[in-house]
Homo-oligomer: A and B are copies of this chain.
Amino acid sequence: MEEESSRTLFASARVARLATMGQEGPRLVPVVFAVDGDHIYTAVDHKPKRSRYLQRLADIRVSPAVTLLADHYEENWDLLWWVRADGIATILEEPTDTSRGLDLLVEKYPQYQNRRPDGPVVAIAVTAWRSWSASGVVGLS
């Protein structure tokens, strides 16, 4: 049950942060994403970011264990929460493999409707959902 509410809360977030293991330390970047059961999809979208993302893809090829975090901050600290998804990342490049993730991303984000991402998709198979809230209850208010 806690896993289910963690996943639902995570899926409702508009942005998450993706941590990967670089050779000299962790790397961290904000991502937009879509959730489908225990899979999270994020895409390499437009060209200006491409070189940065390619470095990240190289990291994933070496160390596929990644972590994503969605969190909520406000000045009333009793309302803080976060959800973390640990998983194993795979890079999808063939159109037959990327279409499912891209469809979900375009459905979630109207911003993608006129510029569907054309790059690789990172698919994360989540192995653990973890969450915390200051109130002790994880769920949508």
Contacts and interface: CB of A to CB of B under 8 A. Distances in A.
Interface stretch (A4-12, A16-24, A34-42, A99-107): A16-24
Contacts of A66: 25-26
A84 B28 contact: yes
Given A82-B30, A111-B77, A25 B63 contact: yes
A14 B72 CA distance: 11
A68 to B, nearest CB: 8
Interface in A83-141: 84, 86, 111, 132
A65 interface: yes
Interface string A37-50: 00000000000010
A83 to B, nearest CB: 11
Contacts of A14: 73, 75
Given A28-B67, A30-B71, 13 more contacts: A14-B75, A15-B73, A17-B17, A17-B69, A21-B26, A24-B65, A25-B63, A26-B26, A26-B66, A28-B68, A28-B69, A28-B84, A29-B69
A17 B71 contact: yes
